Amino acid sequence: MTDGLLTGRRFYFVGIGGAGLSAYANVTRAWGAEVRGWDARETIFMETLDGIEVDVGGEPFVPPGFEAVISSAHTGRVEGRPRAELLAELVSLNRSIVVGGAHGKTTTAAMIAYVLHELGCDPSWIVGGVVPQLGGNAGVGSGWLVVEGDESDRSISLLRPEIAVVTNVEVDHHATFASEVELERFFEDWLAAVPSVVRAWELPRAELELTVPGEHNRRNAAAALAALELVGVERDAAERALGGFSGVDRRFQLVGNSAGVRVYDDYGHNPTEIAAALETARVRTRRRLIAVYQPHVYERTRQLALELGAALGIADGAIVTDVIGGRDAPRPGVTGKLVLDHVPAGVRCGWAPGLDEAVEVALDWARPGDVVVTLGVGEPWRIARAVVAGLDAR
């Protein structure tokens, strides 16, 4: 049982509104710890923090007697341990499955947790998105712990699970890895210490009826099913349960359908993920496809501007905002315009430095029958909600 594992501990999460720390906060509280936190602004993940005292704005202040756990986005604000060290501790306290990779790790981890939950295996889980069917981005049970690992800062290497899943290997964090060869070596070094390993690219895609759309989700499903077999779940039972999985918030999530326009929001932030989301959306429109993208991380934007622009070219219209910072420092000449400059000819282009401007352009362009997809790590979900509200007001 996990009840009481952290009784007597007191945690103050700096960056508690993020996908990761909001989940850690809920799990540590469920395991007996006293939990508080801080973030710079309101976020969508704060909706999962019912009953937790959260300070918003200003600077964090760690109350006496609390251990500070620091998000990588807020390193240096206060003294404390990095979030990766706490996750390693949580993994060490339970039989664990860790999912890593450039794309699909949130959905794959959520699929595993959902099937275990549906089949009565009582899992715990920590994933990087809200899973409505599971009631949030974290939960606690007496069975396996399912978590995402992060290669962006190499912290996945601190985790020692019984089962590891790697969805794919593609450089997504250029400030950390200089090449795909370096990233492959990093993953293989980590996997060498894990008893059971699933390499998703070695598997055929799952051939079963899924509720979540897209070929990429068939690949995610194949990885999830392979991990579940290692746990001891019978394949047919796992497939039946997985067919009912309806997805993760911000993973091609329908935000609204108003004035004949459907608006989706997706976490996709690199070329592969953006292309997968837009290809999935393309078959859902009888008219035009409009993409709204908020670039994230200056170095990624600099390195992948050409590929990002090409991926946005799947749409009929591309609206790009300025880069949202936080993980790295601004670089001269690196703005969202760099991506927009590489959108293919023939695609309508719109420059919108901020979120409000992006909403205005999207509303100006959208017509009945169109599909709008907002994309990115930061706050594109705000754009999606505002577009739906604007369409409602027409």
Give, in degrees to the nearest 5, the angle at Cα 99 between 96 and 104.
Answer: 150
The CATH number that applies at residue 66 is 3.40.50.720
Domain's final residue, options 219, 242, 265:
242
Please check whether residues 109 and 232 belong to one and the same domain: yes
Helices 105-118 + 215-231 axis angle, to 10:
50
With respect to residue 384, please indicate whether it lies within any of the assigned structural domains.
yes
pLDDT digits (tens, 9 = 90+) for 97-150: 999 998 899 999 999 999 999 999 999 999 988 899 999 899 999 999 999 998
Residues 288, 212 share a domain: no
Among 374, 130, 343, 137, which Cα is nearest to 269's? 374
CA atoms of 273 and 70, how far apart (whole Å): 28
Query: Of the residues 223, 242, 261, which one is the last residue of a structural domain?
Result: 242
Which domain-ending residue is among 218, 242, 266? 242
Average pLDDT over residues 321-329: 82
3-state SS of 266-310 is ECCCCHHHHHHHHHHHHCCCCCCEEEEECCECHHHHHHHHHHHHH
For 3-20, the DSSP string reads: TTTTTT-EEEEETTTSHH
89 in a domain, yes or no? no
Closest residue by Cα to residue 150 from 95, 228, 35, 73: 73
| Domain membership flag for residue 23 | yes
238 and 99 belong to one structural domain: yes
pLDDT tens digit sequence for 1-27? 566 889 999 999 999 999 889 999 999
| CB < 8 Å & 24+ apart, contacts of 55-64 | 56/17, 60/12, 60/14, 62/12, 62/14, 63/10, 63/12, 63/36
Examine the pLDDT at 361 and tell me if it is beyond 80: yes
> In the block, which residue shows the tokens 């670089």?
331
| 248 within some domain | no
Query: Are both 277 and 208 inside the same structural domain?
Result: no
Q: What is the pLDDT of residues 66-75, one digit of tens each?
A: 999 999 889 8
For the stretch 149-202, pLDDT in tens is 988 788 899 999 999 999 988 867 666 677 888 989 999 999 999 999 999 999
Give me the percent of the chain exceeding a pLDDT of 90: 81
Q: What is the DSSP string of 200-238?
A: GGGSPPP-S--SS-SHHHHHHHHHHHHHHHHHT--HHHH
Q: Are residues 234 and 316 in the same domain?
A: no
Which CATH number covers residue 116? 3.40.1190.10
- SS3 of residue 135 by DSSP: coil
Which CATH number characterizes residue 384's domain?
A: 3.90.190.20
Q: Are 334 and 304 in contact (CB under 8 A)?
A: no
- Number of domains the chain contains: 3
Note whether 33 and 56 are same-domain residues: yes
One DSSP character per residue, 242-262 reads: HTT----TTSSEEEEEETTEE
Asked if residue 266 and residue 234 are part of one domain, the reply reads no
Same domain, 177 and 118: yes
Domain residues for the domain of 363 are: 253-392
For residue 226, the model assigns a pLDDT of 98
* Token representation of residue 246: 């309806």
